[in-house]
Structure 1
């Protein structure tokens, strides 16, 4: 999921429809049509405030410091354009946005933490395709490859990213790890296993720090492992077929990915505390034992948000306390470097308002986000963003990992129907961790997939 802390708080908050995701062609169907033209054509429903009123309303899910930094990133734009932006934070965004749009009280712009709900509105012509107001080709040229595909419905794209989340990171306690001489650039998952994890295990220490416990959302960490492996073993095309159910969940390739995930998550020699430790350790506490002296585990696969849960002394000296590298390729699998991630997608409800169009053009550009980036906790989805805005070398390196990726794909469970993505995929993974076979797990999830 794009924002994992929000995910843990909102179990069951994903609205997705598999039939809506990644269908049709994978190029701009109206090349050259964008750039702010818009107009009322195409039969799209107009929502939001009155056009040209110099007020643009935005509804999103992030609050607290994130809301403060978001508003700070819009301040200069507001001064320059004279447009007043009114942002409202709602932790139950998924429910609230549906209620507002369906009652005729849509905001001008919605910031979607998952693509599913936005694509549902796209199928109802309640959000506007980005080619009616953005320069699609320019945007495609600056964004991480594959990012726009998450907002695609029947060939057209209906949302553009304004924030990036990178999940495919391996974290380690820098001083102890490097003193022991373990590789900081494994070339494949097999290399990581043989020349790092096995060597750590040979010293009597379990290599992996993994925690799944997340109250009602327990299991999502396990789904991320399967998604990482599906993407690396078979590439983005098969991954898309899987998340959209063009292949069944119990396809032999999915079962094999589950078996590979078991090598990290279910082997008591590989993961701290064995299966009980995995299920009983809060996801936010998983890395904490790595900062013991000596470390009780060394390797943590988690997203860029993981640092917010690290001990305060580690956060205060991040560059010296932790090291990172990309979760590597799977030998014999997809040849490119894939990144599993997510982000917040901005979508336009008020497609005929020039003010709302201008806000969308800025919000989805590589010029947005400087103050937020400097404050920490935010990554631009653009390869062309000025990385000097990032507050430390660790964040800059994460951005570099993303920028060099061959392809980015959204968290798979965010693209699946709610009954699966935040339902059986989570719960069956818990059973899997408790000993259920990969085949049975895949069969059970496939049986739960909505029939329509």
Structure 2
């Protein structure tokens, strides 16, 4: 484990001009601010551009640490008494626990009173507040938003396989999605790009898919009951979501490399098979951040021409405009002047434009006032519009207790390896649900954007 970042204190012997009033009111304090998040590779490079602008504006040095085991590492740091100054975390359930334990520090949030961030995005940020918080105190805000209910495809490859009509109108219902899958198979193509490997969190692409299916198959109320620990894993609703996913990805010719290959294939590498010659697969169910992986290939895939998306279709739940989404929440563990400056900067309109404005990036803002022109292409603009319309439901795994979320990941891997184990796996998850929610169930809700 890294050294305690929260205890770092270097003096910075330069100052800079200030273009973001919220971030730079008064003299810039010398020193550093430590930040932890889960971004690495291209995503880390994009976030570093945000931090570099913060350093230029304030003269404060930001030290970023990226961890693929973010939740466990942060929990350890908090327990040992030396958390980072600022953490950017996707698990809303984990953050609510930190707030209840009194380890998060409050801050003011510019624009909150005007719904600049979008109503439902603000509601989820409010869910992190402890019960005794003042109305103007915030303990988290959405720094980066993402769309989970998305199916990606290569228009050029699909058109070459099936004909021009296949990209004129993409599936709007589950039956149409299944029909498209069957036409791909009939044309000797492999429909689905599936990769479960994402150490140490392998399996999450499957949990995303199952959650998305449950939402669109059984509706918002069932989804809320499930994510808040009120719906048993052994219920018909939950089981049906698993078997519906299984009907897509199990069986000969359904998945590139077969189900056993999918267990070993990295989630990002799986989607890039769409751009092989000939294509290794044609459809990729993945969060919108995967756009950066597509753009990072050789040669880089181009939005619109080489990749596009359609929202996950209604599967009988009457959920045509309902989307599963996720977010990375900025929070403060140490109320230093430097940490407060960084929080205010990250929440500013100027900072919210930086990562979404990177052409090869794949970040989206919960700032409803951000103009579409910030995004570099039409595909990004459509994703951004989706994040500010319809009914939004938060990613299920990020609402569950950490132990249950981790077991969900492992159960996906076991089910993909051996579908006959499904009932036993659901029984195990149900036992964990009863333990995790023995005293209180969750209160997170879906809502209109």
TM range (shorter): 0.7 to 0.9
Aligned partner of 2:186 among 202, 205, 212? 202
Residue equivalent to 2:297? 312
Q: Deviations 1:13-60 (Å, cap 9, x if unpaired)?
A: xxxxxxxxxxxxxxxxxxxxxxx9xxxxxxxxxxxxxx9956572422
Describe how 1:232-271 pairs up with structure 2 within 5 A: 232-271=216-255
1:346 and 2:342 equivalent? Answer: no
* 1:240 to 1:83, Cα distance in 2 relative to 1, 3 A: farther
The answer for unaligned runs of 5 or more in structure 2 is: 1-21, 439-449
- Going from structure 1 to structure 2, the CA distance change for 1:361 and 1:275 (only over 3 Å counts) comes to same
1:176 equivalenced with 2:154 (yes/no) = no
Moved more, 115-124 or 250-259: 115-124
Note if contact 1:263-1:270 (Cα within 8 Å) is conserved in structure 2. no
CA distance in 2, matches of 1:287, 1:83: 40
Structure 1: stretches of 5+ with no match in the other structure? 1-35, 37-50
Higher relative contact order (CA 8 A, sep 6+): 1
Secondary structure, aligned partner of 1:300: strand
In the alignment, is the contact (CA less than 8 A) between 1:67 and 1:89 conserved in 2? no
Alpha-carbon separation, structure 2, partners of 1:282 and 1:84: 37
Partner-residue secondary structure (3-state), 2:262: helix
Correspondence list, 1:327-338, <5 A: 327-330=312-315, 332-338=316-322
Q: How many positions carry a matched residue from both structures?
A: 395
SS at match of 2:423: helix
Q: Tell whether the 8 Å contact from 1:163 to 1:380 is kept in structure 2 after alignment.
A: yes
Task: State the distance in 1 between where 2:220 and 2:156 align.
Answer: 35
Q: Could you give the per-residue CA deviations for residues 299-331 of structure 1, whole angstroms, max 9, x where no partner exists?
A: 11112232344472352534321222222222x
414, 421, 436: which one pairs with 1:431?
Answer: 414
State whether residues 230 and 239 of structure 1, in contact with CA within 8 Å, keep that contact through their aligned partners in structure 2: yes
Task: Determine helix, strand or coil for the equivalent of 1:229.
Answer: helix
Q: 1:369 maps to which residue?
A: 352
Q: 3-state SS of the aligned residue for 1:313?
A: coil
Post-superposition shift, 1:150? 6.3
Q: How does 1:2-401 map to 2 (within 5 A)?
A: 53=29, 57-61=33-37, 62=39, 66-73=43-50, 82=58, 84=60, 86-91=62-67, 92-128=69-105, 133=109, 136-139=112-115, 141-143=116-118, 145-146=120-121, 148-149=123-124, 152-153=127-128, 158-179=139-160, 180=163, 181-183=165-167, 184-194=169-179, 196-310=180-294, 312-330=297-315, 332-350=316-334, 356-357=339-340, 359-375=342-358, 376-401=361-386
Asked if the contact 2:94–2:401 (Cα under 8 Å) also holds between the matched residues in 1, the reply is no
Does the 8 Å contact 1:148/1:161 carry over to 2?
no
Asked if the contact 1:145/1:407 (under 8 Å) is kept, the reply is: yes
> Structure 1: how far apart are the matches of 2:40 and 2:153?
30
Q: Distance in 2 between matches of 1:442 and 1:99?
A: 29
How big is each residue's C-alpha offset from its partner over 1:41-80, in whole Å with a ceiling of 9 and x where there is no partner?
xxxxxxxxxx995657242223565455435435566666
